Amino acid sequence: MANSQTWNPERYARNARFVADLGMPVVELLAADRGERILDLGCGDGALTLKLADMGCQVIGVDGSAEQVLAARKLGLDCRVMDGENLSFENEFDAVFSNAALHWMRNSDAVIAGVRRALRQDGRFVAELGGYGCCAKICKALVEALHRRGADGEGASPWYFPTVEDYSTRLVHGGFAVSSIALIQRPTPLPGDLTGWLETFAESFTSRLPPASRPSYIAEVEESLRPELCDAEGKWTADYVRLRFSARKQN
Ligand code: BEZ
């Protein structure tokens, strides 16, 4: 089934600003020089694209969401609607950068092939995505609550959270030398309750149900996770795991 996730820039800014705020380690790993030509793959609303532009890079952002691209363009950025599994650039970039986007692109071999085509000789691919085990507790609760409603829970997940071995092998087969790759446990405090996160990111699950049933589904998932992910002060922490890597195009 197609990924039914949609993006609303205001909702994203309210519930998910932390995604870009916590993206600085991958910006640092990119170590971009002024004047470098960078592709930001899955640029979203452009928060990190802007950081790269402010560092003096010539940056182009691409994202599958027209709404997010419009929000990014309002920041004065050169951003375009493009399918990450079907990139159309050739030999143009010193580096392809990506934060928190690749786990939405399930055909990773197509992504890697497009990134390789987009890069100049020796170009780098530096990215962070959800890694193996990311949001495992949240995913399990979403799946189980769908099962209780007679819906296919596993088939609803839009995400691909690879292991180090899986993604390294794909990079190498795709024509890259891996400079560094690691899985990082990153429990992530949420700015509000889990409902805000679920409403922002879990539409592929909720859309399996009729609209009238969705609020009680979300409430049930939140309640089932409260003992594990919410502390005594009511602060929610999501069980994020990141996969961060740097790779170089081989000729
Ligand atoms: C993220 O934005 O990093 C993310 C979104 C959904 C699930 C896991 C991670």
Whether 176 is covered by a domain: the verdict is: yes
Q: Please report whether residue 123 resides in a domain.
A: yes
Half-sphere exposure of 25 (CA within 13 A, CB side): 14
CA 210 – CA 120 distance, rounded (Å): 47
- pLDDT category at 207 given cuts 50, 70, 90 is very high
Mean pLDDT for 57-65 is 97
- For atom 5 of ligand 1, the residue with the nearest CA is 201
| Residue 1 reports pLDDT greater than 60 | no
**pLDDT at residue 4 in the model:** 84
For a substitution probing ligand 1, which of 18, 201, 242 has the most ligand atoms within 8 Å of its CB? Answer: 201
CA distance 200 to 230: 18
pLDDT of the residue at 23:
93
Residue of 63, 190, 240, 241 to mutate, ligand 1, most atoms within 8 A of C-beta: 240
Name all residues whose Cβ lies below 6 A of ligand 1. Answer: 19, 100, 130, 134-135, 159, 201
The domain that holds 69 is classified in CATH as 3.40.50.150
Q: What is the pLDDT of residues 69-101, one digit of tens each?
A: 999 999 999 999 999 999 999 999 999 999 999
Residue 3 in any domain: the answer is no
Note down the domain range covering 241.
9-249
CA distances from 193 to 13, 105, 130, 176, 222 (A): 15, 26, 20, 40, 8
Residue 137 lies in a domain: yes
148 in a structural domain: yes
pTM value is: 0.95
Q: Quick check: 141 pLDDT over 60?
A: yes
Q: Do 25 and 48 contact (CB within 8 A), yes or no?
A: no
Q: Which atom of ligand 1 is nearest to the CA of 159?
A: 7
Q: Cβ atoms within 10 A of the Cβ of 157, count?
A: 18
Predicted pLDDT at 3: 74
Closest CA to 186 of 219, 161, 154: 161
Asked if residue 2 is part of any domain, the answer here is: no
- Report the pLDDT value the prediction gives residue 251, as an integer from 0 to 100: 86
Which helix or strand (DSSP H or E) is residue 112 part of? helix 108-118
Is 46 within the bounds of a domain?
Answer: yes
- Mean pLDDT over each residue of the chain, to the nearest integer: 96
Provide the number of structural domains found in the chain. 1
CB 90 within 8 A of CB 117: yes
| Domain-located, residue 87 | yes
